[in-house]
Amino acid sequence: MRVLQVSAELYPLVKTGGLADITGALPAALQSAGCEVRAVLPGFVGVMVDLQDSVLLAHVEAPWGERVAVRYGRLATINLMAYVIDVPGLYLRRGTPYEDEYRQPHGDNHRRFALLGWVATKLAYGLDPLWQPQVVHSHDWHAGLTSAYMAFVTPKVQRVASIFTIHNLAYQGVFPPSYFFDLGLPLEAFGVNGVEFHGQLSFMKAGLFYSDYITTVSPTYAREIQTPEQGCGLDGLLRARSGALVGILNAVDESVWNPAIDPHIPFCYDARTPYDKVLCKADFQRRVGLTVQNEAPLFGIVSRLTEQKGLYLVLSVLDTILGRGGQLVVLGTGDAWLEAVFRERAAAHPKSVSVCIGYDEPYAHRVFAATDVTLVPSRFEPCGLTQMYGLKYGSLPLVHRVGGLADTVIDCTLEDLANGLANGFVFDEFTIPAFDRAILRSFALYGRRYEWLRVCECAMQQRLGWETAAQKYKALYQQLCE
């Protein structure tokens, strides 16, 4: 089964969030399941530096007339064969893949990511004479136009299946309607049965409407996005396509996120040696200037600092945490007001609160190894990887019961403690009192050390690897190619 993966990010070469972790790990998992996978990517700096033994495959003309180069080579870090769109003027820029250094979206993002789908479609239908995919698997809005371009290719020598995965429906790649004329799509594509969305142009909607099949990153989220509350204006389309929509739970790359072999943490440990985690906690507390103590839990946040993540709930109960002797460490970047407030709280409580604005991969590993509780109080969460990392590292997740959080965390109720299934803390209502009660329950369990360690052992033994998800994707590919 030949599969072409289309994405803007790929860990560890280009990463702004969980999308990169998934697209970085999925190809290897699929190859272990018997698929032959190649990727197509924009030529961002990290990709170009890592590309080895590359050759110029072809020049193609972009829909707006620009001549662009497509290179083929091997991504050395993850040993993956890839096609890279080599256009320095579009991709070699300051800032993130999506924003400039002033956190403003690049003004030509519609061209930069339309080109990704355009080149993927060329590859689907013969750009590489030696290799043609049977399935094109596109990820999130950046690759959403892929399926639209594929739908309008004529004549088609052979059928190539298209799959589109929603990683977060809230980010839709919406642009002014005038940009449509840069895209090279026929006029009939700009309509309610096409890429038009409330008078605008939506890359996300293109993926949802034109793909043969739609997946998203957890079973619960697949149900939630078909409702007005979480459908982000696209719930009607998703309900209409419910027969071609499935949730496949994301997974963890256990070669990267594994405290038994993690090179980024000072003391390695596993479910059989949980006390070594205490050494990681003490080392971390010393390094960041927190009081070295183990009498109360250390809470951790590794997250984008945005409204979606429910972090105002944390700020609202921080006095409760500190009043009971707890501590908080934060790693993330996002909304300026959240960054400022967390910094203010750290300045006011330097021995109890540590805040690092930005993202640092090794530091994130140390946070999970040090903390006792991973806070993920998201308003909505398609899947979430943070709670899975918490599980792997014995940092018990405390989560809102939505999306993939509901699919992976089992609350510490009396019955689930008794039957050995509990692995974290869950609250149902997205309110300060409900979150506060969950915090208090975590303190109560932490005070019962034997039971706490039993729950940590259960959490760390969860099977979170990619084998199951890869088999489900492979079965879907085979179904579409029959």
Q: Is the dihedral of CA 428, 429, 435, 437 positive or negative?
A: negative
* Tokens standing for residue 45: 């700096």
**15 among annotated binding-site residues:** yes
Which of 145, 139, 155, 212 lies closest to 179, judged by CA? 145
Count other Cβ atoms within 10 Å, centred on residue 472. 16
Backbone conformation region of residue 149, classed left if phi is above 0, alpha if psi is from -120 to 50, else beta: alpha
* Tokens standing for residue 187: 């006029």
Which of 66, 121, 114, 118 lies closest to 88, judged by CA? 66
**Ordered strands of the 396-400 beta sheet:** 353-357, 327-332, 298-302, 373-376, 396-400, 425-427
Using DSSP bridges, classify how beta strands 373-376 and 298-302 pair: parallel, antiparallel or unpaired: parallel
Burial class (CB in 10 A: 0-12, 13-18, 19+), 255: exposed
Write the CB contacts of 455 (distance below 8 Å, at least 6 apart in sequence).
396, 412, 417, 422, 423, 424, 445
Backbone conformation region of residue 196, classed left if phi is above 0, alpha if psi is from -120 to 50, else beta: beta
Binding region: 15
Q: Which residues are annotated as a binding site for ADP-alpha-D-glucose?
A: 15
